[in-house]
Structure formats: structure tokens, C-alpha cells
């Protein structure tokens, strides 16, 4: 899962080669853990948690969290066919407008 700050959107990238985008509807004052209390493995929190807890597709598509979320700076470029997301590690995700993605 990735959060895009400028548009306040959450991108969910599935192993199946597809992705979905969601509006981040979590706001300050909302419960940190949307599903209830934190559990092990770690429960996604804030906006990621709200998307994960409220969507069976996201929960089943991603499964349980393996680690806590972490912030990082990335480079984003919108283009005619989608979005290019360059991670801080140099990995590039291409999120295509047709709902498919690839990694380079």
C-alpha cells in the first residue's frame, strides 16, 4: 500500500498484477485502528487501516500485514496511461490506468 500525499489517495498493489486507488477518508480524531484494537500481526492503521478494514477485496488481496508501515519520500509522475512511482530504494512501480501494474 502506498499513500500519495498531494492527492490524499491510497494505492493498493496486489500480487495478481492489479491495483486499486482509494480516497483516504481517515481524518485526525478518527480511531487509529479502524478494525478495533491492534492485533498481531500488525493491523494497518490510520488511512491504510481504514482501506484494509472496510474492504474485503483489500484484506483478502493483501492478507495480513507483515510489518509496521514506514514513511519514505518518493518521486511521482502522472502520465497519460497512469502513474510512475519511484521508491526511495530505486524500485519503480508503473500503475496503469487500466488497473494493471508492473515493477522495474
Each residue's pLDDT expressed in tens, for the chain with a length of 104 residues: 999 999 999 999 999 999 999 999 999 999 888 887 777 678 888 999 999 999 999 999 999 888 888 899 999 999 999 999 999 999 999 999 999 999 99
What are the residue ranges of helices labelled H in 38-103? 46-54, 56-62
Residue 101 and residue 95 in contact, taking contact as beta carbons nearer than 8 Å: yes
* 32 vs 28: CA distance, rounded Å: 9
Structural domain boundaries of the chain?
A: 2-103
Q: What is the pTM of this model?
A: 0.89
* 68 vs 88: CA distance, rounded Å: 17
Amino acid at each position: 500500500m502506498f499513500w500519495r500525499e498531494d492527492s490524499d489517495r491510497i494505492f493498493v498493489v496486489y500480487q495478481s498484477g492489479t491495483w486499486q486507488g482509494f480516497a483516504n477518508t481517515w481524518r485526525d480524531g478518527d480511531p487509529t485502528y479502524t478494525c478495533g484494537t491492534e492485533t498481531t500481526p500488525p493491523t494497518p492503521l490510520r488511512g491504510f487501516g481504514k482501506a484494509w478494514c472496510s474492504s474485503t477485496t483489500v484484506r483478502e488481496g493483501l492478507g495480513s500485514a507483515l510489518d509496521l508501515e514506514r514513511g519514505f519520500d518518493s518521486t511521482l509522475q502522472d502520465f497519460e496511461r497512469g502513474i510512475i512511482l519511484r521508491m526511495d530504494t530505486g524500485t519503480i512501480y508503473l500503475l496503469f490506468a487500466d488497473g494493471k501494474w508492473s515493477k522495474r
